[in-house]
Amino acid sequence: MREGITAKKPNIDKDILNAEEAAILFSVSIWTMYKRAKAEKLPAHYMGKRLYFVKSELIDYIRQT
């Protein structure tokens, strides 16, 4: 690996999360997040083809289940 190049780490401290960040929050795979969002088992929002999650909605969902 070249010196000075670092991989970007997902930030789960944000209010709006992408599928990768939400998967880290839930400790599941990204594929699982897409699958549950498509089945409307999780609160999710699409902007075009991109999937986003509002962190507070996910936390509320976890508390309700």
Q: Is the pLDDT of residue 1 over 60?
A: no
Q: What is the DSSP letter of 7?
A: P
HSE-CB for 45 with a 13 A CA cutoff: 10
Each residue's pLDDT tens digit, 10-51? 777 889 999 999 999 999 999 999 999 999 999 999 999 999
Q: Is pTM, for the whole model, over 0.75?
A: yes
Q: Is the pLDDT of residue 6 over 70?
A: no
> What is the Cα–Cα distance from 21 to 4, expressed in whole angstroms?
24
Residue 7's pLDDT is 60
